[in-house]
Structure 1
Amino acid sequence: MRNAQNFKWDGLSLGTCYYPEHWDQNLWREDLQRMKENGIFTIRIGEFAWSKIEPREGEFTFGFFDSFLDVAEEEGMKVIFGTPTATPPAWLTRKYPEVLNCRLDGTPFRHGMRRHYNYNSPVYQKLCAVIVEKAAEHYGQRPCIVGWQIDNEMNCEVDVFYSESDTAAFRIFLKEKYQTLDALNQAWGTVFWNQTYTEWEEIYVPRPTVHDSTNPHQVLDYTRFVSESAVRFCRLQSDIIRKYKKPQDFITTNGMFGNLDNHKMQDECLDVYTYDSYPNFAYCLCEDPKHSDDLNDRKWSRNLAEVRSICPHFGIMEQQSGANGWNTRMEAPAPKPGQMMLWAMQSIAHGADYVSFFRWRTAVMGTEIYWHGILDYDNRDNRKLSELNRIWKRTEAINEMAGAKYQAAFGLVRDYDNIWDAQLDAWHMRFAKKSEKEIFTASQINHTPMDMVYLLEGTDVEELLAYPVLIYPHPLILTERRAEVLKQYVEAGGCLILGCRTGQKDETGKCVMQPMPGLLLPLTQTDVKEYTFVGPADDAVYMEWEDKQVETGLFNDILAVTGPDARVLAKYSSNYYEGRPALVETAWGKGKVLHFGGTFTRDNVKEFLDHTGVLKPFEELAEVPKACETAMRVKEGRKYLFVLNYDKEPQKIVLKVPVMDMDTKDEVQGSVMLNAYGTKVYRIF
């Protein structure tokens, strides 16, 4: 069982990100007062301001932030203080160039951006420990401070590290894991292409190779190493802050980024997790135009579901408030009227009890001059500020549901081994990414909410049994531990759905010399006889299931039954394996497992959800069009239904039972029109 969340907000609240170092001191008090007039009572500061505390090595000045915190306390503003380690100062990188991260070819990243350091430099670790200790010791007892943010967006910008310090730390990581070079050579399969190592000093972090090809087993371990390095860096800071913070103050960091076990970081370092939500990235002009079936900004609900798996009652440290972009990249449009409210409600519907908007005022200098905030350069009141005020009124109206639990109908199972393997295995990536996208899309358009469920070292069967149905799309890498907890889940009454390629690899990423689904074969009582991509020249492949032709996606395992408890539900109805099993259901204990030979599409996922009895759990309450998302949060027996319209056109919903409109407190039933980008929250009687 994972550790419990150590901090929860006692109500719904709003905040914003503020940079006192960017603005004339005469603006501070006026800014805080305007914030309060529009519902903002918490601000985040400090995360890029190392030089304001340590302008030169060993010289500490606390007056700047003391002056600002004095104003904050006079105005009754709460403060989240950020450690400034994401932007080491110029004096540091000039004097200690070994702290710099490097490109794959070893070229250092120079001063002038952010996140240009590496986690594993002993010098940087020491200097970070000093600045964090000085800041926490001096500011930790300030009455206005309610929380601490560690660094900023761990593994953002870059999530790979190629400095000499990283190579040195990687060797230590590998020695601790494998103990001997013989064990490492065996795990990495170094006999292939004569890669065998005879000295630890021969091992490096990945380096340039012909065709940029790599040893996949080395890279899988390297990714684990990057994650562990980030977690260790975070823990270094949190351990220091805990010595000086007030007992009630929380420690967080803002995420969520790649090559990082965010669950471990939450469990070992943080009290609560916060996320940076920018749904208008879906409309970024630097990408290909998005199509309607891609869900656009609605896709951010998938990210929020993943955040919820890390921390059920999370916060948003940076919520979309304006157009986004740097002067060098990323051009995303301003939120249309109603979208600020929509995206804030999207976050709250998925479990956020604190929403902080980025940023209070758009920067007039630097790389982020087009990363717009609530106020624009001219500092005048505008429609975004008016919409913020309406968001405040909404959060006050629904405040009673703070702490309510998101109610999912099924779980999408993930694990870090397979996530990281799919990053470096093009075959794995092709169908894993597509299947997960389609499972989420099916969940959204069929109003069947889902959770992300991570199989972690401490995951037990009780956690899994919270879901009547689990879909584990393509677990190529299986371990004895995961296989056992899945067997326990099914035996206790759960329904497990597996897709193609299950059990192909072991924990090192090597293919196992046994029939698939490998360690789960006794559970599924199936055998994969052969397999193939559905080639570009092939027509779509279908299976015949309950008198329906159901598409089987872009990769097909051809199955066979091997045990008495298994029965064939569907057979392929085309291609050279026509008539052979595509879907097998096996009874096991009180539950069952469905082994599906294909990849997941929104259409076949709908059939799976229907077959397992979890499709459209709210249809007795409301009839909602596909353009809208539904979500339910539950607290002490009270249910709160969110309906979010992502479309530019009004949408009609039909409330089938009497409910309370949380804005007006009126009882309503029947047809209701949601405006373009409109949202509603109803309490179910």
Structure 2
Amino acid sequence: MGKSIRMDKLTLGVCYYPEHWPEALWEDDFRRMREMNISVVRLAEFAWAIFEPEEGKFDFAMFHRVLDLAHRYGLKVILGTPTAAPPAWLTHKYPEVLNADVTGELYRHGLRRHTNYTSAKYRELCQRIVRKMVEAYKDHPAVIGWQIDNEFNCHMDVFYAETDHAAFREWLKDKYGTLDKLNEAWGTVFWSQTYTAWEQVHLTRHMVSRSPNPHMALDEKRFISDITISFARLQTEIIRELAPQHWITTNGMFGHLDNHELTEELLDFFSYDSYPQFGSLDTINEEAPLLDRAWSMKLSQVRSISPNFCVMEQQSGPGGWVDAMAMGTPKPGQIRLWSYQSVLHGTDLLVYFRWRTATVGTEIYWHGINDYHNRPNRRVREIAQIGGELASLGNSLIGSAYQAEVAIMQDYDNSWDGELDAWCGPLQRRSVRAWYKRLQHRHIPADMITLRASTPLEELAAYKVIVYPHPAIMTDETAALLTRYVEQGGILLFGARTGFKNIHGHCYMRPFPGPVAGLCGITVEDFTLVKGTVAPAELRWKDSRLAEGVKAEGFNEILQVEDADTEVLAEYASEYYAGKPALTRRFVEKGQAWYYGAAFSEAVVDAIADELGLVSPAADFLEAPAQVELGIRRAGDKRFLFVLNYSGEPAPVQLKTPLKDLLSGAALNGEAALPPYEVWLLELPEAAE
């Protein structure tokens, strides 16, 4: 399992920008933070122009005063290195530090994250400011840790500056050694793309089509991850050298970055930025969308990196920039609800963004706890309530971990390859969302896990059921690991387009689903993409478990049973392949291997969950409607059941045994109503051995 944050108790913090405010406000701000039981502040991640107003001229005095005042009020400080937003003098004097778009045109100064990671000059200047900053503050008693940079690969997760093309060639030389091996890996024999000199090799460039060589595109994303980690390493090595007593983290979870590798190699734990209202900005056309509950899925992904983690930015008000991402004001109770959503999923240090809404700049509408006028408001009162509750809980939840017996599995190679692959990439989001949503509504906790080359069998064996929806890239080594998981008792479910590509993204010349065909006991006889005039076939479950009219979405694979131990659970009921297998199950020693020749829909997920007999771990204690999220954190024999109502209506809950709400102190039994956006934290009886 990943590296976790280590705290003595659940802790509240807040992001604070003293450079934005008159110094006369600082002391009152810190006093009020302490009154709200806020004990940590994050500072300085965008303050490079304060620290180095001119090249080579450094001034750390202002933040020394901030740190001294924070220490006087008992506040601990996380310092952010300022490398996500360089000062204007830097990009003006050294335009080679700027990132470029796919045409080679440079992104100009004026926002943030407009630089590239491979510029020797930018790396030099970043190392210098980080070293100077750490030297200035490493011995200050208020400082407990460092956030390197801010949200790696946010805004831009592709890099096309000249130095990036050159660095890509060097990365490829190290990976493949020779052009012959590169040409083989990229299949350059197609369309006469064969390279005969290294200088001919580039990252994606402006072309007549938006579809580059898919094998090159996959390596491009691997390269971007590696150069991002390399850039991060420049900073962590300095901090480890000069301030080994401090922990190191970074925040965000953005594209083309292996955050597992980043954390394992460089960090003490991973941190995340939680903005649940984003879930309502990107809803797909579905009945009862997840909305802010989609953030439970995001938090579950973070938990696969660090089981206990920091939320470095927790939404505390309406959000949005001047021109984008506008979000309405959270309703009364929603900030508290979202806060406990984060705590349920593994957050032990919860840092709100931000203390007070900025009065200038791009984020003047990204509201914090306090409004511009700095007078008390309901958001202040709500977070003060949370602070008081966490203070009363003390260390009771520390050391506890989220409990799940079901996992939805993904991997970086398939995620990155799927971005370009219209034949299988879109299936992933559809299936993952269907599984997570139905498990949520059935009150069955789920982990989102990432399969890596280093993943041991013991990590997989912790789960009763693993859903690995559409792993197009599948190696024989991965298939062997998954076979051992099934043999020891695991239940493994695949979806369409499994196992037809190798590690380079080449299509195997072997029957689908390639390396796991034997495990599943099937091959794919025929297939079709469901799009345009090609309609999805209807499904018929052998024992009528599915209602009439349920269709096989996204892609239809017609399965051929190849093993006597494989049973057909559902058939296609329409189209030219009516009567052919659509869903199969093979018993393998103690476990089961399932294969579904389509993208998973909610109806199909429900039917499979019923067939498997999946039930909520809270079923012995209470029953609640689908609008409520249930989850358990456990430490030893102690278990804590979180009950969160995401609806604006009261949720009827039937308690089967008397339980106490640790937040309010109320004794609950029988029928009870959980108010809108309300939270219960129930201590369960000690678990039996």
Q: TM-score, normalised by structure 1?
A: 0.97
> Of residues 160, 180, 183 in structure 1, which corresponds to 2:181?
183
Deviates more, 1:18-27 or 1:551-560: 551-560
**Match of residue 361 from structure 1:** 356
Residue type matched to 1:589 in 2? E
Residue type matched to 2:595 in 1? H
Alignment partners' CA distance in 2, 1:355 and 1:391? 11
Deviates more, 1:287-296 or 1:123-132: 287-296
Give 1:680 shift: 0.9
Residue type matched to 1:560 in 2? Q
Alignment partners' CA distance in 2, 1:649 and 1:668? 19
Deviates more, 1:275-284 or 1:193-202: 275-284
Q: Secondary structure at the match of 1:424?
A: coil
Give 1:483 shift: 1.3
> Of residues 428, 432, 438 in structure 2, which corresponds to 1:436?
432
Residue type matched to 2:270 in 1? Y
**Match of residue 448 from structure 1:** 444
> Of residues 390, 396, 402 in structure 1, which corresponds to 2:391?
396
> Of residues 223, 231, 246 in structure 1, which corresponds to 2:229?
231
**Match of residue 381 from structure 1:** 376
Matches within 5 A, 1:131-146: 131-146=129-144
Deviations 1:542-599 (Å, cap 9, x if unpaired)? 1323223354322121111212332222222222111111122112222121112121
Give 1:213 shift: 2.1
Give 1:260 shift: 0.7
**Match of residue 30 from structure 1:** 28
Residue type matched to 1:147 in 2? G
* CA gap 1:105/1:539 in 2 versus in 1, 3 angstroms: closer
Give 1:477 shift: 0.3
Deviations 1:242-274 (Å, cap 9, x if unpaired)? 112252x21000011111111111111110111
* CA gap 1:149/1:333 in 2 versus in 1, 3 angstroms: same
Alignment partners' CA distance in 2, 1:60 and 1:436? 49
Deviates more, 1:612-621 or 1:53-62: 612-621
Conservation of the 8 A alpha-carbon contact between 2:474 and 2:501: yes
> Of residues 286, 289, 292 in structure 2, which corresponds to 1:297?
292
Conservation of the 8 A alpha-carbon contact between 1:409 and 1:617: no
1:590 aligns with 2:590: yes
Alignment partners' CA distance in 2, 1:88 and 1:615? 52
**Match of residue 274 from structure 1:** 271
Give 1:661 shift: 1.1
Conservation of the 8 A alpha-carbon contact between 2:224 and 2:256: yes
**Match of residue 521 from structure 1:** 517
Conservation of the 8 A alpha-carbon contact between 1:252 and 1:273: yes
1:338 aligns with 2:333: yes
* CA gap 1:535/1:166 in 2 versus in 1, 3 angstroms: closer
**Match of residue 573 from structure 2:** 573
Alignment partners' CA distance in 2, 1:216 and 1:547? 42
Conservation of the 8 A alpha-carbon contact between 1:421 and 1:428: no
RMSD, aligned α-carbons: 1.5
Conservation of the 8 A alpha-carbon contact between 2:536 and 2:556: no
Give 1:211 shift: 2.6
**Match of residue 344 from structure 2:** 349
> Of residues 489, 495, 511 in structure 2, which corresponds to 1:493?
489
Conservation of the 8 A alpha-carbon contact between 1:586 and 1:594: yes
Give 1:434 shift: 0.8
Deviations 1:272-321 (Å, cap 9, x if unpaired)? 1110011112344xx67976522111111110000001110011000011
Q: Secondary structure at the match of 2:174?
A: helix
**Match of residue 422 from structure 2:** 426
**Match of residue 42 from structure 1:** 40
**Match of residue 404 from structure 2:** 408
Alignment partners' CA distance in 1, 2:213 and 2:410? 24
**Match of residue 258 from structure 2:** 261
Q: Secondary structure at the match of 2:347?
A: coil
Alignment partners' CA distance in 2, 1:382 and 1:289? 34
Deviations 1:386-434 (Å, cap 9, x if unpaired)? 0011111222344411221101130001000110011111121221111
> Of residues 303, 326, 340 in structure 2, which corresponds to 1:308?
303
Residue type matched to 1:432 in 2? Q
Residue type matched to 2:444 in 1? T
Aligned length: 680
Alignment partners' CA distance in 1, 2:652 and 2:670? 10
Conservation of the 8 A alpha-carbon contact between 1:551 and 1:603: no
Conservation of the 8 A alpha-carbon contact between 2:537 and 2:551: yes
* CA gap 1:144/1:102 in 2 versus in 1, 3 angstroms: same
**Match of residue 110 from structure 1:** 108
Q: Secondary structure at the match of 1:212?
A: coil
Q: Percent identity?
A: 46
Give 1:220 shift: 0.5
**Match of residue 610 from structure 1:** 610
Deviates more, 1:237-246 or 1:417-426: 237-246
Alignment partners' CA distance in 1, 2:543 and 2:404? 27
**Match of residue 252 from structure 1:** 249
Deviations 1:58-97 (Å, cap 9, x if unpaired)? 2222211111111111111100000000011112111211
Q: Secondary structure at the match of 1:332?
A: coil
Q: TM-score, normalised by structure 2?
A: 0.96
Matches within 5 A, 1:527-546: 527-537=523-533, 538=535, 540-546=537-543
Q: Which runs of 5+ in 2 are unaligned?
A: none
Alignment partners' CA distance in 2, 1:8 and 1:359? 23
Residue type matched to 1:584 in 2? T
**Match of residue 466 from structure 1:** 462
1:58 aligns with 2:56: yes
Alignment partners' CA distance in 2, 1:411 and 1:56? 51
Conservation of the 8 A alpha-carbon contact between 1:216 and 1:509: yes
